[in-house]
């Protein structure tokens, strides 16, 4: 009887020991490890100012909460510094990131770098697709460029158009510019393309307008559009201004009429989808078939239509 | 008897061995599990309104400095930044999320400076140090817990320096400033949030800097524009309609509002030379551009980079259990004060 009781106690103790050992070992097994552990996802934008992506960030953070991920936002010290972005990505890969979301300064260069360095990490992009079939969350850039040209054609009074090339290595931005340029060419509108840095646009724009004689300006990325928004009021003869993005500053300018129209889309949805895709890829799951993001041409007069309002103010308190 | 002793002994051995085995597994598990966590500093940063240009600049500096520290010290620093959108309830929820995520230190730019007690109590309960910045909680709340800190600058000083910019312009360029030649500075004041400590102190001390040296002043109008550029532009447009050329100076409690006043002047067709003299506080990048353009006559540098560096250094020290006084100059155990500095056109090359 006593021996029997001892044996039972011993067996129970051993079972407890084995179950503790199992709880320690199980999470380390492949497949199971990544499901249970919080994923580390690094987000590399191509600008120094993360506020440009604040709506996307809201979407990303919500997705991170829903899917058990931790985000690291890594802006660049200088806008469009491709080399720094590549170095950052390499560092994040070495540092144990499970996936990376990138707004690539140079998508082709970055794809070549990843291959060269044999960096095997799920990479999801926003704004520009990267060669190699990696997932990208952006509206169709060519269509956007054509729509911006269309918005100008509705308003034109015979002026020359200045097209700002502020991120030429970003293929997504370049596609917008090229499509817009092509549409203007077909419509017989005189235009000029000028390279500029978004960070110094506030200072340089009056000079560029004087130099080109342009009466309208079209920007193709967030930073350049925000720069237009900040300088709009100071320009002596109000040119027609067009751009992209759904930030607060752009909304304020649309309301005042200093920006005539902007192509806007749900950054929140783009951010959420990119984290969702990054999480799925890092867990070895199949990609979801997310439909292409749409965009809308928004003007002051339709800014507060419900569908447009959601783009600029995705989270209301 | 021998059998009894033997059986007791063998029972003891078996149980003792089993307990030892369990302890060994548990200890081994605990050590292995915590290794990864120690190498990451998780910082939660809750701002009152990310659209505020100064706050956005502080956040940018923090992100940049965090990356530099990572390279230098071979550690990982994860920043989670949330925007309270001027809603204290939202900011409370964001704080809860930081605590759930396991943040090591939380930095808060509080929406309502009288509501700090709740945040402090939550942080104390979770034993997570709390650093307030730029918007100073009331003193009694700061005393609730020893691991609460404030990083900022003394608002009275910013008002004084702003007033001194106008004082010097009045004394050295009287003809341009005193447009109607009546030897009285006629001004309007764009104020920050009503009841905010910075609003009260900057407003008071800016004017005191003039009256204390015998300059006669007359307030034409004064209203709150809530630190906001668009609101300031609206107020200024109205004042320009009502007061027209009578306005000789515009004091704004921050640069965003100063730029709003400039927006209104430009919309009204005034040039940099014909608009009233406008002064702000913060020395944000757009304000420095406006100084270069000649529309803003001066501002007061609120050291956003210094603020960001202090918060990163302090967070690192706190997360390692080090004495916070080793990372920053603490006053009264809780306060780290950063100095303000005047910025005018002649100072601009230093800021570039």
Chain B: closest CA distance from residue A72 (Å): 6
Q: Is the Cβ of A83 closer than 8 Å to some Cβ of chain B? A: no
pLDDT for the residue numbered B303: 93
Chain A: closest CA distance from residue B261 (Å): 12
User: Which residue of A23, A72, A230 is in closest CB contact with B286?
Assistant: A230
B residues 276-295 closer than 8 Å to A (CB): 286, 289, 292-293, 295
CATH number of the domain enclosing B216: 3.40.50.2300
Distance, in Å, from the CA atom of A104 to the CA atom of A86, rounded to the nearest integer, reads 9
Nearest to B328 by CA among B310, B347, B306, B348: B310
Task: List strand residue ranges (DSSP E) for chain A, in order.
Answer: 39-44, 69-74, 99-102, 123-126, 136-137, 160-165, 191-195, 214-218, 240-244, 261-264, 296-298
Chain B: closest CA distance from residue A135 (Å): 25
pLDDT for the residue numbered B307: 97
Q: What digits encode the pLDDT tens for the residues A228-244?
A: 887 876 676 789 999 99
Residue B129 in contact with residue B106, Cβ under 8 Å?
yes
Pair B288, B165 in one domain: yes
For an interface test with B, the pick among A89, A206, A230 (most B C-beta atoms closer than 10 Å) comes out as: A230
Closest residue of chain A to B76, computed from CA coordinates: A95
Q: Is the Cβ of A14 closer than 8 Å to some Cβ of chain B? A: yes
Q: Where is pLDDT greater, at B312 or A119?
A: B312
- The three-class DSSP label of residue B169 is helix
Which residues are paired to B138 by β-bridges? none
Enter the ipTM: 0.73
Distance, in Å, from the CA atom of B222 to the CA atom of B277, rounded to the nearest integer, reads 16
Pair B163, B296 in one domain: yes
For an interface test with B, the pick among A28, A64, A74, A258 (most B C-beta atoms closer than 10 Å) comes out as: A74
Can you tell me which residue has the tokens 């500095």?
Answer: B341
Is B11 among the domain residues? no
Give B173's contacts (C-beta < 8 A, 6+ positions apart). Answer: none
Residue A217 in contact with residue A228, Cβ under 8 Å?
yes
User: Which residue of B22, B90, B230 is in closest CB contact with A252?
Assistant: B230
Inter-chain contact B80–A71, Cβ cutoff 8 Å? Answer: yes
Q: Name every chain B residue with its beta carbon within 8 A of the beta carbon of A61.
A: 80, 82
Distance, in Å, from the CA atom of A147 to the CA atom of A53, rounded to the nearest integer, reads 22
Is B114 among the domain residues? yes
Inter-chain contact A317–B90, Cβ cutoff 8 Å? Answer: yes
Residue B132 in contact with residue B46, Cβ under 8 Å?
no
User: Which residue of A14, A72, A88 is in closest CB contact with B78?
Assistant: A72
Residue A56 in contact with residue A271, Cβ under 8 Å?
yes
Residue B40 in contact with residue B74, Cβ under 8 Å?
no
How many domains in chain B? 2
Pair B313, B280 in one domain: no
Nearest to A225 by CA among A206, A202, A194, A192: A202
Chain B: closest CA distance from residue A117 (Å): 20
Pair B174, B288 in one domain: yes
Pair B280, B169 in one domain: yes
User: Which residue of B18, B26, B97 is in closest CB contact with A13?
Assistant: B18
Residue A198 in contact with residue A221, Cβ under 8 Å?
yes
Residues present in chain A in total: 317
Is B327 among the domain residues? yes
pLDDT tens by residue, chain B, 352 residues:
555 555 555 565 556 655 655 565 555 544 444 434 447 899 999 999 888 889 989 998 999 899 899 888 888 899 988 889 899 999 999 999 999 989 999 999 999 988 999 999 999 999 999 999 999 999 999 999 999 999 999 989 999 999 999 999 999 999 999 999 999 999 999 999 998 889 999 999 999 999 999 999 999 999 999 999 989 999 999 999 999 789 999 999 999 999 999 999 988 989 999 999 999 999 998 899 899 989 999 999 999 999 999 999 999 999 999 999 999 999 999 999 999 999 999 988 655 4
Pair B124, B169 in one domain: no
Q: Name every chain A residue with its beta carbon within 8 A of the beta carbon of B271.
A: none
Domain limits, CATH 3.40.50.2300, in chain A: 37-137+267-293, 141-265
Q: Name every chain A residue with its beta carbon within 8 A of the beta carbon of B230.
A: 252
User: Within 10 Å of residue A94's Cβ, how many Cβ atoms?
Assistant: 10
Q: How many CA atoms lie within 13 A of B282 on its CB side?
A: 28
- What is the model's pTM? 0.78
Report which secondary-structure segment, H or E, holds B224. Answer: strand B217-224
- In terms of CATH architecture, what is A37-137+267-293? 3-Layer(aba) Sandwich (3.40)
Residue B343 in contact with residue B301, Cβ under 8 Å?
yes
User: Within 10 Å of residue B34's Cβ, how many Cβ atoms?
Assistant: 9
Pair B77, B94 in one domain: yes
Q: Is the Cβ of A284 closer than 8 Å to some Cβ of chain B? A: no
pLDDT for the residue numbered A225: 93
Pair B296, B223 in one domain: yes
Q: Is the Cβ of B23 closer than 8 Å to some Cβ of chain A? A: no
Domain A141-265 grouped into CATH 3.40.50.970: no
Residue A223 in contact with residue A204, Cβ under 8 Å?
no
Give B149's contacts (C-beta < 8 A, 6+ positions apart). Answer: B129, B130, B131, B132, B314, B324, B330, B334, B335, B336
> A209-242: string of b/e by CB count within 10 Å (b at 16+)?
beebebbbbbbbbbbbbbbbbbbbbbbeeebbbb
Is B56 among the domain residues? yes
- The three-class DSSP label of residue B82 is strand
Q: What is the DSSP letter of A234?
A: G
pLDDT for the residue numbered A273: 95
Q: Name every chain A residue with its beta carbon within 8 A of the beta carbon of B83.
A: 54, 58
Is B90 among the domain residues? yes
Distance, in Å, from the CA atom of A250 to the CA atom of A166, rounded to the nearest integer, reads 17
Inter-chain contact A51–B292, Cβ cutoff 8 Å? Answer: no
Inter-chain contact B14–A252, Cβ cutoff 8 Å? Answer: no
pLDDT for the residue numbered B274: 93
CA A218 to chain centre: 20
Pair B267, B164 in one domain: yes
Closest residue of chain B to A201, computed from CA coordinates: B289
A residues 153-212 closer than 8 Å to B (CB): 202-203
Instruction: Calculate mean pLDDT across residues A150-174.
Output: 93
Interface contacts (A, B; CB < 8 Å): 89
User: Which residue of A73, A234, A315 is in closest CB contact with B79?
Assistant: A73
pLDDT for the residue numbered A285: 85
Q: Is the Cβ of B56 closer than 8 Å to some Cβ of chain A? A: yes
pLDDT for the residue numbered B17: 58
CA A284 to chain centre: 23
Nearest to B244 by CA among B191, B188, B190: B188
Distance, in Å, from the CA atom of A46 to the CA atom of A40, rounded to the nearest integer, reads 20
Q: Name every chain A residue with its beta carbon within 8 A of the beta carbon of B267.
A: 233
For residue A58, what pLDDT band results from cuts at 50, 70 and 90?
confident
Inter-chain contact B14–A6, Cβ cutoff 8 Å? Answer: yes
Chain B: closest CA distance from residue A193 (Å): 25
- Burial grade of B8 (CB within 10 A; 0-12, 13-18, 19 or more): exposed
Pair B180, B288 in one domain: yes
Report which secondary-structure segment, H or E, holds B299. Answer: strand B299-301
For an interface test with B, the pick among A233, A254, A256, A316 (most B C-beta atoms closer than 10 Å) comes out as: A233
Give A3's contacts (C-beta < 8 A, 6+ positions apart). Answer: B7
Is B3 among the domain residues? no
Q: Is the Cβ of A87 closer than 8 Å to some Cβ of chain B? A: no
Q: Token digits for B291?
A: 């100084």
Q: What digits encode the pLDDT tens for the residues A3-29?
A: 677 888 888 888 887 877 776 666 555
Domain that holds residue B143: 39-153+303-339
Q: Name every chain B residue with its beta carbon within 8 A of the beta carbon of A13.
A: 15, 18-19, 21-22
Closest residue of chain A to B269, computed from CA coordinates: A236
Distance, in Å, from the CA atom of A249 to the CA atom of A225, rounded to the nearest integer, reads 9
Is B4 among the domain residues? no
Residue B113 in contact with residue B142, Cβ under 8 Å?
no
DSSP A260-315: -EEEE--HHHHHHHHHHHHHHHHTTPPPP-PPPBP-EEE-GGGTTSHHHHHHH-SS
- The three-class DSSP label of residue B108 is strand
Q: How many CA atoms lie within 13 A of A208 on its CB side?
A: 26
Pair B172, B242 in one domain: yes
Residue A91 in contact with residue A61, Cβ under 8 Å?
no
Question: For B63, phi and psi rounded to 5 degrees?
Answer: -65, -45
Q: Is the Cβ of B348 closer than 8 Å to some Cβ of chain A? A: no
Pair B274, B311 in one domain: no
Is B5 among the domain residues? no
Chain A: closest CA distance from residue B204 (Å): 30
């Amino acid at each position: 009887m006593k021996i029997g009781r001892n044996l039972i106690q011993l067996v129970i103790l051993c079972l407890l020991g084995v179950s503790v050992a199992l709880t320690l070992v199980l999470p380390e097994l492949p497949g199971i490890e990544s499901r249970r552990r919080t994923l580390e996802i690094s987000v590399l934008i191509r600008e120094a100012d993360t506020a440009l992506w604040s709506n996307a960030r809201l979407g990303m953070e919500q997705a991170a909460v829903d899917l058990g991920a931790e985000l690291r936002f890594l802006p660049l010290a200088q806008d469009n510094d491709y080399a720094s972005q590549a170095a950052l990505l390499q560092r994040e890969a070495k540092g144990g990131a499970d996936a990376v979301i990138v707004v690539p300064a140079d998508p082709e260069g970055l794809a070549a770098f990843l291959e060269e360095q044999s960096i095997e990490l799920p990479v999801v992009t926003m704004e520009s697709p990267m060669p190699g079939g990696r997932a990208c969350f952006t509206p169709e850039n060519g269509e956007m460029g054509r729509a911006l040209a269309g918005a100008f054609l509705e308003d034109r009074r015979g002026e020359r158009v200045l097209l700002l090339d502020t991120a030429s290595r970003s293929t997504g931005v370049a596609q917008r510019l090229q499509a817009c340029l092509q549409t203007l060419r077909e419509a017989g509108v005189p235009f000029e393309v000028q390279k500029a840095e978004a960070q110094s646009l506030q200072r340089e724009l009056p000079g560029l307008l004087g130099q080109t004689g342009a009466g309208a300006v079209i920007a193709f990325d967030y930073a350049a559009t925000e720069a237009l928004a900040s300088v709009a009021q100071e320009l002596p003869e109000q040119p027609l201004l067009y751009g992209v993005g759904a930030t607060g500053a752009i909304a304020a300018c649309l309301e005042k009429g200093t920006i005539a129209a902007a192509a806007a889309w749900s950054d929140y949805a783009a951010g959420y989808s990119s984290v969702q895709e990054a999480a799925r890829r890092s867990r070895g799951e199949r990609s979801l078939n997310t439909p292409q993001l749409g965009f809308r041409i928004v003007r002051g007069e339709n800014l507060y239509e419900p569908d447009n309002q959601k783009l600029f103010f995705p989270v209301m308190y | 008897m021998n059998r009894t002793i033997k059986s007791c002994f063998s029972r003891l051995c078996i149980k003792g061995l089993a307990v030892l085995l369990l302890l060994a597994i548990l200890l081994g598990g605990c050590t292995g599990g915590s290794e990864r966590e120690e190498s990451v500093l998780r910082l939660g940063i809750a701002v009152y309104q990310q659209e505020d240009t100064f706050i956005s600049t502080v956040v940018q500096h923090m992100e940049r400095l965090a990356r530099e520290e990572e390279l230098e010290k071979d550690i990982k620093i994860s920043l989670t930044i949330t925007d309270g959108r001027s809603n204290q309830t939202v900011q409370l929820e964001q704080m809860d999320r930081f605590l759930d995520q396991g943040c090591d230190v939380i930095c808060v730019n509080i929406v309502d400076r009288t509501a700090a007690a709740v945040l402090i109590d939550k942080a104390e309960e979770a034993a997570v140090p709390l650093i307030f910045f730029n918007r100073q909680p009331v003193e009694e709340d700061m005393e609730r817990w020893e691991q609460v800190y404030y990083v900022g600058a003394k608002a009275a000083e910013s008002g004084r320096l702003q007033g001194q910019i106008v004082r010097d312009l009045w004394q050295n360029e009287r003809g341009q400033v005193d447009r109607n030649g009546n030897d009285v500075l006629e001004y309007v004041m764009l104020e920050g949030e009503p009841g905010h400590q910075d609003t009260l102190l900057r407003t008071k001390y800016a004017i005191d800097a003039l009256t204390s040296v015998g300059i006669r002043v007359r307030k034409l109008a004064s209203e709150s524009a809530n630190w906001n550029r668009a609101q300031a532009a609206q107020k200024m447009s109205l004042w320009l309609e009502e007061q027209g050329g009578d306005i000789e100076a515009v004091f704004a409690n921050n640069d965003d509002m100063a730029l709003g006043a400039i927006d209104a002047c430009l919309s009204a067709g005034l040039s940099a030379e014909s608009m009233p003299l406008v002064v702000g506080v913060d020395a944000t990048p757009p304000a420095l551009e406006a100084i270069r353009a000649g529309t803003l006559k001066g501002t007061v540098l609120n050291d956003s980079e210094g603020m960001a560096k202090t918060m990163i250094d302090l967070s690192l020290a706190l997360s390692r259990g080090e004495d916070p006084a080793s990372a920053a100059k603490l006053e009264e155990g809780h306060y780290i004060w950063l100095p303000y500095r005047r910025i005018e056109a002649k100072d601009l090359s230093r800021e570039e």
